[in-house]
């Protein structure tokens, strides 16, 4: 296997581009893909201050490292979710990453800040854990982005993530979700700008990038993610990709090119509470009476979750894992 | 050779020398869903692994 660029020994293959790369040229390829994405979708410009949501996993570390290498002014944001030992370990990975590179990091711990954690919120609200987790993180991301006056919040969603979400939304024709599945959501109605610079990289590529850059990340999966639909959608798409490399990229970027505009959210029901999915395009938004975040109902979904979960008796992770 | 697997972390012994592709076939793993790592760097699919090699087969799929 030879590097497409220098013809030296290659370490990694990227089948959908019919290309192999050595370490140096693979790292360059990843950075170029991100740079191209930032420009193509108007995500960020030189000098922008970016708040990077970091979890301790490969994707968030890869995007933080790449944005730093491209010269952006970045600040990490880690949310302590209270998922037992998993959260303890992930927090340490993030601290080590930030300290080792002398990068600024903001930490928000759900238990010490809001007196609940994800397993407890999942139990008392009867939401699946990933739903309680997503709602909590979105609220904290938005709040910290506004508070720090950052230009955008960055997440490490990659091509596989976006293709899997698209696949799930198409399977069930979740038209309102389809309308907002863009890699860049502009700042609107009090919501900060949100960007996903890794959508041109697969998760195998972000993992390979971390290995080749010597980035130590948390390989273990979140104990609450086991068996979620997202993983089964990825497995289904990987079977297709195996037979036909490039299918995932064609699926997702074809959707962005030809279909996403057809699912514009302004046509959705204005009376439906959409604050839990952070819909910047909801037609009627006003400040939540409790936290001031934009919402189209009186009290946003996060504050409603907080009312029920905050102060509740902590529920161990193991109990939630058995349930779901 | 020793093969370190993840989720859950475990170690299995395999006979070598063996190519990366054959190793993954034996483990019934897709090459597109894992990375093979030796001495802190990636091992390409066409590489041969020695009898005394210690390698990690790391999954790349996350549920996020």
**pTM, two decimal places:** 0.92
d(CA A310, CA B6): 35
Count CB neighbours of A208 within 10 A.
Answer: 28
Inspect the interface and report whether the beta carbons of B35 and A1 lie closer than 8 Å: no
Give the closest residue to A82 by CA, choosing from A127, A133, A124, A125: A133
List of chain A residues whose C-beta atoms are within 8 Å of the C-beta of residue B20: none
Distance of alpha carbon B1 from alpha carbon B50, whole angstroms: 7
Q: In chain B, what residues touch A204 (CB-CB under 8 Å)?
A: 32-33, 35, 60
Q: Which residue of A has its CA nearest to B62?
A: A221
Interface contact A131, partner B, CB < 8 A: no
Burial classification of residue B28, based on how many CB atoms lie within 10 Å of its CB (0-12 exposed, 13-18 middle, 19 or more buried): exposed
Nearest chain A residue to B64 by CA distance is A225
Q: Are the CB atoms for A202 and A248 separated by under 8 Å?
A: yes
pLDDT digits 0-9 by tens, A69-78: 999 999 999 9
Could you tell me the sign of the dihedral formed by the alpha carbons of A285, A291, A293, A295, in that order? negative
- On whether any CB of chain B is under 8 Å from the CB of A10, the answer is yes
* Residue A127's pLDDT band (cuts 50, 70, 90): confident
Q: How far is B54 from chain A (nearest CA, A)?
A: 16
pLDDT in tens, A89-119: 999 999 999 999 999 999 999 999 999 999 9
**So what's the pLDDT on residue A228?**
82
> Min CA distance, A13 vs chain B (Å)?
8
271-290 in chain A: CB under 8 A from chain B: none
- Rounded Cα gap, residues A285 and A263, in angstroms: 20
pLDDT of the residue at A296? 87
- Residue A11, C-beta contacts closer than 8 angstroms, at least 6 positions apart: A21, A22, A23, A26, A208, A212, B41, B42, B43, B44
Q: What confidence score (pLDDT) does residue A321 get?
A: 62
3-class DSSP state of B22: helix
Q: How many angstroms away from the CA of A289 is the closest CA of chain B?
A: 31
Which one of A220, A223, A245 would you mutate to disrupt binding with B, by most B Cβ within 10 Å of its Cβ? Answer: A220
pLDDT score of A274 more than 90: no
Query: DSSP assignment, residue B17?
Result: S
Cβ proximity of A108 and A77 under 8 Å? yes
User: Which residues does chain A have within 8 Å of residue B6's beta carbon, measured at their own beta carbons?
Assistant: 219-220
**What is the arithmetic mean of pLDDT over A239-254?**
96
- A30-323, which class in CATH? alpha beta
- Whether the predicted pLDDT of A30 surpasses 90: yes
Residue ranges of domains in chain A = 30-323
How far apart, in whole angstroms, are the C-alpha atoms of residue B37 and residue B4?
10
> Strand B41-42 to strand B34-38: parallel, antiparallel, or no bridges (unpaired)?
antiparallel
Cis peptide before A313 (omega within 30 of 0): no
Nearest CB to A208 within list B42, B59, B63: B42
Domains in chain B: ranges and CATH? 2-59 (3.10.20.30)
Nearest by CB to residue A204, choosing from B7, B40, B60, is B60
CA distances from A267 to A192, A195, A261, A283 (A): 22, 23, 11, 9
**CB-based contact (8 Å) between A57 and chain B?**
yes
pLDDT in tens, A54-67: 999 999 999 999 99
- Nearest Cα of chain B lies from the Cα of A284 at a distance, in angstroms, of 30
Beta-carbon-side half-sphere exposure of residue A126 (alpha carbons within 13 Å): 0
CA B14 to chain centre: 11
Higher pLDDT, A130 or A159: A159
What's the confidence (pLDDT) of residue A267?
Answer: 41
Name the closest residue on chain B to residue A2, using Cα atoms: B44
Q: How many CB pairs under 8 A join A and B?
A: 81
pLDDT value of position A272: 46
> Quick check: A82 and A118 in contact, CB under 8 A?
yes
The predicted-structure confidence for B6-61, as pLDDT tens digits, reads as follows 988 999 999 989 999 999 999 999 988 999 999 999 999 989 999 999 999 999 99
Pick from B33, B40, B64 the residue to mutate for testing the A interface (most A CBs within 10 Å): B64
CB contact under 8 A, A242 and B59: no
The percent of residues above 90 in pLDDT, for chain A, comes to 81
Please give the average per-residue pLDDT across A198-209, as a whole number.
98
* pLDDT tens, position by position, A166-193: 999 999 999 989 988 999 999 988 899 9
pLDDT band at A323 (very low <50, low <70, confident <90, very high): low
Q: What is the mean pLDDT of chain A?
A: 92
User: Which residue among A11, A219, A242 sits closest to B42, beta carbon to beta carbon?
Assistant: A11
């Amino acid at each position: 296997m030879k590097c497409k660029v220098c013809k030296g020994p290659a370490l990694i293959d990227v089948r959908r581009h019919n290309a192999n790369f050595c370490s140096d040229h693979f790292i360059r390829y990843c950075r170029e893909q991100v740079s191209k994405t930032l420009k193509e979708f108007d995500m960020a410009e030189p000098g922008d201050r970016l708040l990077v949501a970091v979890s301790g996993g490969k994707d968030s570390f890869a995007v933080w490292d790449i944005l730093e290498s491209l010269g952006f002014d970045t600040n990490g944001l880690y949310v302590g979710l209270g998922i037992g030992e998993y959260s303890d370990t992930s927090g340490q990975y993030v601290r080590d990453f930030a300290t080792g590179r002398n990068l600024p990091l903001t930490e928000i711990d759900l238990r010490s800040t809001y007196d609940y954690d994800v397993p407890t919120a999942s139990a008392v609200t009867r939401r699946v854990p990933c739903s309680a987790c997503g709602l909590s993180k979105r609220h904290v991301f938005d709040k910290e982005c506004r508070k720090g006056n950052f230009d955008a919040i960055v997440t490490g969603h990659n091509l596989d993530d976006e293709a899997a979400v698209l696949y799930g939304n198409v399977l069930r024709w979740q038209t309102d979700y389809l309308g907002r599945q863009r890699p860049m959501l502009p700042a609107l109605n009090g919501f900060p700008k949100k960007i996903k610079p890794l959508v041109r990289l697969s998760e195998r590529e972000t993992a390979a990038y971390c290995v080749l850059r010597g980035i130590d990340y948390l390989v273990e999966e979140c104990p609450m993610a086991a068996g979620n639909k997202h993983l089964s959608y990825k497995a289904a798409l990987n079977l297709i990709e195996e037979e036909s490399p490039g299918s995932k990229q064609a699926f997702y970027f074809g959707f962005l090119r030809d279909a996403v505009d057809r699912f514009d959210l302004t046509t959705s029901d204005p009376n439906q509470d959409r604050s839990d999915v952070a819909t910047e395009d909801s037609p009627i938004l006003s400040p939540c009476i409790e936290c001031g975040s934009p919402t189209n109902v009186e009290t946003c979904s996060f504050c409603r979750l907080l009312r029920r979960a905050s102060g509740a008796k902590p529920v161990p992770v193991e109990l939630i894992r058995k349930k779901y | 050779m020793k093969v370190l697997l993840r989720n859950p972390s475990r170690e299995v012994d395999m006979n070598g020398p063996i190519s990366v592709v054959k190793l993954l076939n034996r483990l019934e793993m897709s090459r597109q869903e894992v990375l093979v790592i030796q001495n802190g760097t990636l091992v390409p699919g066409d590489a041969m692994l020695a009898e005394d090699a210690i390698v990690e087969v790391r999954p790349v799929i996350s549920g996020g």
